[in-house]
Amino acid sequence: MRISLFTLTGAAALAVFAGCTVKSVEQPALSGPSTFAHSIVMVADRDTLTQNGTDFTDIRITSLGPNGQSENIPLRAQVFVDGIATDFGTLSTKTPITPATIRYTAPAASMLAAAQVPTTVTIAVTPSNAGDFRGETVRQLDIRLLPQGVILPTNPNLAAAFVVTPASPRAFQTATFDASTSTNNGVPCVSACSYAWNFGDGTSGTGLTTTHQFRTFGNMVVTLTVTDGRGAQATRPQTVAVSAPTPPTPTIDVTPSTPVVGQDVFFSGSRSTAATGRTIVTYEWNFGDGDTGTGVNTSHRYRAQGTYATVLKATDDVGAFATATQSVNVLVGGPTVSFTFLPATPVRGDTVTVNVTATPRGASTISSYSFAWGDGSPVERSNNPTQSHVYTGQGRFVITVTVTDSLGHATTATREVTVS
């Protein structure tokens, strides 16, 4: 504890300020109320601080008049370094009125290695009720500032501890770090201490509680450093198991579900979902036949019949990804075709009627029919699967029916008819 006591009274005070030579002169009238007869006491609860920007000391200031009673004296408070007034650290007020308690907070540590040496600052107060500072005596006390990392007091009763929520966070998940369980002499230190965090991934933080997102996964050694009011420190390393981030859930939709060779097949990943707080940013497709595509929606044509494993890779905004696979069964192009004709044994001049049965493949539809009668007559094209023809000659003729679907695939069927 640092105490500064100044008491000056009457002619004795004047003699002190006159120096070694005393000349007999008449005492001039005072221009205002004098504080020479007042006793101003400054008491600091701590005279050594850590220069960390947060450490502080409370200074109690009282003033006693000639009768020994407490008085209300307005003061001007200042900080001096090497006799020069400067704002090195902060005062809670620069204009206290006794009795008062003012708080001095140490400045932040210097970034220069050469400045990492102890410094003494002087806290001075000057009575201001006379209206002229030049006629007053400055009351002062010294505070010693110790740079962090240079002179560190010890405190075996200081214990650092913290809790992580969730205990095993995923990468890019917000984790909360709480040092409320840190104690000093068995009592929670809370606001009486300062807290510095090293998250083990090249980043740091401060505060009794803080949050952090790990951008990689693995075992991270998180270190908490607790500093008490005197600058003593305690550390607590703790391994935090960070798991891989939650990946998206990709979903594939295929239209048509059973395409044919050469048909446009449409693929959509629009029903894919990302983890909470994340967004899918890329969709990559592998169609299983050597071709690839990108985008939430895309299309592709298969060039051969077969079953293809189509793979969608969805990647979110933090690089987490997952894949989904869906089989696509590609059929041969063209419908299946068969037909019958009546009468089964026609004679010359009879009308022969052909009835075609055609089944399209995949999502295609039948678009046209063509009939070649085999007797040299022109080929007839129609949208009707039933067609008639009159044979004017005798012999064996080959009836050829060609059916074309909406994709342009054509299938041909033939049968022989004997006309007597």
3-state secondary structure the chain: CEEEEEECCHHHHHHHHHCCCCCCCCCCCCCCCCCCCCEEEEEECCCEEEECCCCEEEEEEEEECCCCCECCCEEEEEEEECCEECCCCEECCCCCECCEEEEEECCCCCCCHHHCCCEEEEEEEEECCCCCHHHCCCEEEEEEEEECCCCCCCCCCEECCCEEECCCCECCCEEEEECCCCEECCEECHHHCEEEEECCCCCEEECCEEEEECCCCEEEEEEEEEECCCCCEEEEEEEEEEECCCCCECCCEEECCCCECCCEEEEECCCCECCCCCCEEEEEEECCCCCEEECCEEEEECCCCEEEEEEEEEEECCCCEEEEEEEEEEECCCCEEEEEEECCCCCCCCEEEEEEEEECCCCCCEEEEEEECCCCCCCEEECCCEEEEECCCCEEEEEEEEEEECCCCEEEEEEEEEEC
Q: Considering the domain boundaries, does residue 75 fall inside one?
A: yes
290 vs 407: CA distance, rounded Å: 23
Q: Considering the domain boundaries, does residue 347 fall inside one?
A: yes
Write down which residue in 81, 114, 147 finishes a domain. 147
Asked if residue 198 and residue 130 are part of one domain, the reply reads no
The CATH number covering residue 189 comes to 2.60.40.10
Q: Is the dihedral of CA 111, 112, 118, 120 positive or negative?
A: negative
Q: Considering the domain boundaries, does residue 288 fall inside one?
A: yes
pLDDT number for residue 28: 40
295 vs 129: CA distance, rounded Å: 79
At 197, which amino acid appears? W
Asked if residue 143 and residue 6 are part of one domain, the reply reads yes
Write down which residue in 242, 274, 309 finishes a domain. 242
Asked if residue 184 and residue 235 are part of one domain, the reply reads yes
368 vs 335: CA distance, rounded Å: 11
Mean pLDDT of 301-316: 95
Model confidence at 216, in pLDDT bands (50, 70, 90)? confident
Asked if residue 341 and residue 321 are part of one domain, the reply reads no
Asked if residue 116 and residue 36 are part of one domain, the reply reads yes
Q: Considering the domain boundaries, does residue 11 fall inside one?
A: yes
Asked if pLDDT for residue 10 goes beyond 60, the answer is no
Q: Which domain holds residue 126?
A: 2-147
Q: What is the pLDDT of residues 244-257, one digit of tens each?
A: 899 999 999 999 98
Asked if residue 345 and residue 218 are part of one domain, the reply reads no
Q: Considering the domain boundaries, does residue 248 fall inside one?
A: no
Q: How many domains does the structure of the chain reveal?
A: 4
Contact present, 77 and 59 (Cβ < 8 Å): no
**Tokens 């933080």, residue?**
205
Write down which residue in 314, 330, 346 finishes a domain. 330
Report the mean per-residue pLDDT for the chain: 86
Q: What is the pLDDT of residues 326-374, one digit of tens each?
A: 999 998 878 899 999 999 999 999 999 999 999 988 778 899 999 999 9
261-290 burial, b for 16+ CB within 10 Å, e for fewer?
bbbebebbbeebebbeebebeebbbbbbbe
Q: Considering the domain boundaries, does residue 153 fall inside one?
A: no
**Max avg pLDDT among 136-140, 141-145, 327-331, 406-410:** 327-331
Asked if residue 410 and residue 382 are part of one domain, the reply reads yes
Model confidence at 29, in pLDDT bands (50, 70, 90)? very low
Contact present, 155 and 232 (Cβ < 8 Å): yes
Q: Considering the domain boundaries, does residue 44 fall inside one?
A: yes
The DSSP bridge pattern shows strands 139-147 and 48-51 to be parallel
Q: What is the pLDDT of residues 266-281, one digit of tens each?
A: 999 999 999 988 999 9
pLDDT number for residue 17: 33
Contact present, 397 and 357 (Cβ < 8 Å): no
Asked if residue 210 and residue 178 are part of one domain, the reply reads yes
273 contact partners, CB below 8 Å, separation of at least 6: 248, 249, 251, 280
Asked if residue 124 and residue 98 are part of one domain, the reply reads yes
Asked if residue 384 and residue 403 are part of one domain, the reply reads yes
Asked if residue 48 and residue 95 are part of one domain, the reply reads yes
Neighbour count for residue 98 (Cβ, 10 Å): 20
Asked if residue 90 and residue 44 are part of one domain, the reply reads yes
Q: Considering the domain boundaries, does residue 356 fall inside one?
A: yes
For the chain, the farthest-separated pair of C-alpha atoms sits apart, in whole angstroms, at: 167
